[in-house]
Structure formats: C-alpha cells, structure tokens
Amino acid sequence: MDQTTNDPPDQMFTCQLCGLSSPFTYYGQKPPKTRAIVLLEDCYVTKDPFSPDKEKFLVLGSTCSLCSTCVCVSPECSLYYTKRFCMQCVNKHLEQFPLQIQTELAKKKQSTKTAVS
Ligand SMILES: [Zn+2]
Ligand SMILES: [Zn+2]
C-alpha cells in the first residue's frame, strides 16, 4: 500500500449490526450544498454516486438514541420512530413501541423466516 493521494482519507461509516461500511461525507442534520433540507435526526450522509444532481444525497445511517450504536437505515438494523433505535434496543423495549410497530416487526420477522432457504 504505497499509494499516495492528497485527499484526506474518507471517514467511514460502519453499521455495527450488519457490518455494512461506506465512506460518508457529512454527519449531522443539515447536509451542505442542499437547499432547505433538514433531516429529522443526525445522520451519516454521502453524496449520491448515481445521481448527477449535486443536491442528491443518501442517508447511510445514524446512531441509536438509546445505546449510541452506529446503525444503517436498513429495516433489519434500525427503526425510526420519533428517534432512531437500533434493532437490539427495539427488541429489548418492544412492548414500549406502539402496537402498530410491533405488528409490523412481527410481520417482517415472519417474512424473513420464510425467505431463508
Ligand atoms: Zn446495518
Ligand atoms: Zn440501541
């Protein structure tokens, strides 16, 4: 590894549940160079590599409001309900979430079970 670049190394976001990792360009609620976009939470954000629109960005993940674990926005890893929760905390405090969310999660669990070969 003797490659030299003048760019500062990308900061990496890593989901601590599924291991997904990706460089991110911004962490916070208001990504730079975007017009009037304010996110609901502090997020790890990266520019959308598939879009020529410079204002387009992707939200990679966020931190759990309870245990501060870094989690991606995949429904398998985290849930956004007024705040970001990692699935570990969701499962731990499931009875404190509204029934609607509990049912949705139960449905999801069933569908992943049948999807597994
Ligand atoms: Zn994940
Ligand atoms: Zn958590």
Ion ligand 2 neighbours, Cβ < 5 Å: 64, 66-67, 69, 86, 89
| In a domain? residue 73 | yes
What is the 8-class DSSP label of residue 75? T
More confident site: 69 or 8: 69
Residues 6+ apart with CB under 8 A from 32: 26
Strand order in the sheet with 70-72: 26-28, 43-47, 57-63, 70-72
Task: Find the domain containing 38 and state its range.
Answer: 11-115
| In a domain? residue 6 | no
- For residue 78, the ligand closest to its alpha carbon is 1
| In a domain? residue 28 | yes
| In a domain? residue 3 | no
Q: What is the mean pLDDT of the chain?
A: 88
| pLDDT, mean of residues 66-70 | 97
With beta carbons less than 8 A apart as the criterion, state whether 76 and 87 touch. yes
| CA 65 to centroid of ligand 1, rounded, Å | 15
The pLDDT assigned to 109 comes to 79
Question: How many folded domains does the chain comprise?
Answer: 1
The pLDDT assigned to 1 comes to 58
Identify the band that residue 50 occupies on the pLDDT scale cut at 50, 70 and 90.
confident
| In a domain? residue 79 | yes
